[in-house]
Amino acid sequence: MAITDNIATAKTALELDEAEKELDIVLRQVLIGLKHGNVSTRGLDGFRLAYERAHSAIMQRRQRIAEAPVISRVSEA
């Protein structure tokens, strides 16, 4: 949950980079767990869904951050 909270509240691309790094660490941990039998294929399916949603949220937030200065300039005119 902390990763998704960080994504939702990120104000800079750097903050999103950090969230993406955290997400990649979790991915590596899950893959190691799968290799060692600590994560079931069903658990992997659930994780994959959460991972895809988080990754999509990062991409959407990046787009909003990139567009923010343009929107503020338009509203000032």
Going by C-beta distance under 8 Å and a sequence separation of 6 or more, which residues neighbour residue 30?
A: 39, 43, 44, 47
Domain definitions of the chain by residue range: 2-76
- Asked whether residue 54 carries a pLDDT value surpassing 70, the answer given is yes
What pTM was computed for the model? 0.79
Q: How is residue 44 written in tokens?
A: 């992997």
The residue type at 13: A
pLDDT band for position 41 (50/70/90)?
confident
Identify the weakest region by mean pLDDT among 34-43, 48-57, 61-70. 61-70
pLDDT for res 70: 59
Angle, CA of 17, 42 and 59, to the nearest 5°: 20
pLDDT for res 14: 96
